[in-house]
Structure 1
Amino acid sequence: METNNRHILLPTDFSDNAWSAIVYALKLYALESCTFYILHSAHGSLSSISDKYSRVYEEVKENANTNLLELKTLAETANANANHDFEIILSTESLYRAIDTTVKKYNIDLVVMGTKGATGAQEFLFGSNTVKMISKMRSCPILIIPEDYDFVTPKQIAFPSDFNRFYGATDLDALKDLASLYNSKIRVVHIETKEELTEVQEHNITTLESYFGEFEHSLHWVPDYSKKANDIKSFIEELEIDMLAMVNYKHSFIEKIFNEPVIKKIGFNPTIPFLVIPG
């Protein structure tokens, strides 16, 4: 991954939560050269208007564009880095399609978004809709920022793994890139489901250690006493973890968490920024 200029996508619905995620991104990359793309999907507002050539349709788009311009000005004012550039994008596609299109068009390195928006229970809620977004997004890593989360330097990043998956050399670039920003320590967490590791798991541990060789890192074994989401929450609190990172692939750890009945019902509610890397 090129580190000279990062391309960061910031979806917004103009809510306070979305703005908090933007502020987090600006602080996270405070010392880096970045182009930030502020994206708004007007699909929800426009879908009820049948005539695409009507004055009402145009007014909705004009209002959204005005809001985007104001948000861009606000971001530029709140930002002290001369190496930060801002672009605005207004899309009429659904949120997922708008993000996917923008990721591919502008070679986006990372999507940074909030957990829920102005409506509280629409597409930004980190319940079923955001879980769907995470499940579908295969083109780019997503960093999800909890509501009202104030920026904390990510000194420690937790990376849960069952060690059943072999990671290619570039699969963990997003995690390594974030760790490189503040020389973060990577804590690899294994929630034990069996007493002994298989040969495949042993091999994958060795490979992981080689990938993380340039960073301070450690391995942690956590007994599988209860629901995995609870185990991770306890680990985050005990070791004062500042960011959680997971790879999302079929039958992955993250998929198992999201398939827990309680998660399906109320959503997964991490208390720290959560990096989801497509597998």
Structure 2
Amino acid sequence: MKKVLLLTDFSDTSKNAMHYALNLFKEDTCIFYVLHVQKSTSYTTDDLMLAGNESIYNSIVKDVEYQLDGLVSALKKKFNNVNFKFETLIDYDVLTDAIDQVVSSKHIDVLVMGSNGVSGAKEVVFGSNTINVIRKVECTTLVIPEGFTYKKPQEVLLPLDSLDTLGGKAFSKILQFVKMYSNKLHVLRINENGSMPDAQINDLEHMEYFSKDFPSNYHIVNNVPMHYAVSGYIQTNAIDLTILIEQKELLLERFFMGSTTTKIGNNLEVPLLVFHSK
């Protein structure tokens, strides 16, 4: 049984991400954990005083439970899949800590969240915090852009930088995903600082091996930043989903130069699926 964690702040963006996930996994037997993380700053002493004789539980938790139950009922009605089960969860922790706890305790296979990018000063759960989740939570993460209508990910793009190789645990998971949910894999080797012949030879050896299982192609881009190369490729090819292998970057490099994941994650054009290198 596939265990999927769905994050919700009850926004249209989060609901749209849930719909994408339920469409994508419609042939699987799944249990969906629907998690809402309530910030402690979202309620005040006044809220507790207005509750009167009601318990703190009833005044704060009950309303959220009601919303979650309504959300799950709507999902069950819309998808009507006997292979789907749902469980609702509420936490009052830091977002990434709350997610980490559920990932560990429920043995989550994939985490699903929506993203509206960085479009304003206010950081919301599905804005810039998307990057924090990818960075800090060691779980395969599927991020759906705001308003993106579900389409089967027929054509999948895997961009590679100097730290990435076509091998290891993360790449094995990528191959498994493509076999199950997609039809074609596009591999884009991006050498921002010039050609890397050894890496390209290694890539082609792996490509020859897995291309027997599904169609694939391979391209090399030299001296172009990854986020530009990825965006250009998506615009000129029928790409339905981008896959990234998340590497732990050095703190100074991330601080001064920015992060490839951050640049791509803040400007999503198609859904993004992130596999961690460990």
1:94-173 equivalences in 2 (<5 Å)? 94-116=94-116, 121-127=122-128, 129-137=129-137, 139-162=138-161, 164-166=163-165, 168-173=167-172
Match of 1:231 among 219, 229, 232: 229
Mark the runs of 5 or more structure 2 residues left unpaired by the alignment.
Answer: none
Going from structure 1 to structure 2, the CA distance change for 1:174 and 1:240 (only over 3 Å counts) comes to same
Query: Is 1:27 aligned to residue 23 of structure 2?
Result: yes
Aligned letter for 2:171? Answer: L
Aligned residue pairs total: 269
Aligned-pair identity in percent equals 26
Normalised TM-score (structure 1): 0.83
Normalised TM-score (structure 2): 0.83
Match of 1:38 among 23, 34, 52: 34
RMSD of Structure 2 on Structure 1 (CA): 3.4
Going from structure 1 to structure 2, the CA distance change for 1:148 and 1:183 (only over 3 Å counts) comes to closer
Which structure's residues are more often helix, by fraction? 2
Mark the runs of 5 or more structure 1 residues left unpaired by the alignment.
Answer: none
Going from structure 1 to structure 2, the CA distance change for 1:240 and 1:126 (only over 3 Å counts) comes to farther
Going from structure 1 to structure 2, the CA distance change for 1:194 and 1:125 (only over 3 Å counts) comes to same
Asked whether the equivalents of residues 244 and 273 of structure 2 are also in contact (C-alpha less than 8 Å), the reply is yes
- The offset of 1:103, in angstroms, is 0.8
- The offset of 1:51, in angstroms, is 11
1:1-279 equivalences in 2 (<5 Å)? 5-45=1-41, 48=44, 57-58=56-57, 59-116=59-116, 121-127=122-128, 129-137=129-137, 139-162=138-161, 164-166=163-165, 168-200=167-199, 202-203=201-202, 205-207=204-206, 210=209, 213-225=212-224, 227-251=225-249, 259-260=257-258, 268-279=266-277
Going from structure 1 to structure 2, the CA distance change for 1:72 and 1:241 (only over 3 Å counts) comes to same
Going from structure 1 to structure 2, the CA distance change for 1:267 and 1:200 (only over 3 Å counts) comes to closer
Asked whether the equivalents of residues 248 and 277 of structure 1 are also in contact (C-alpha less than 8 Å), the reply is yes
- Give the match's secondary structure for 1:23: helix
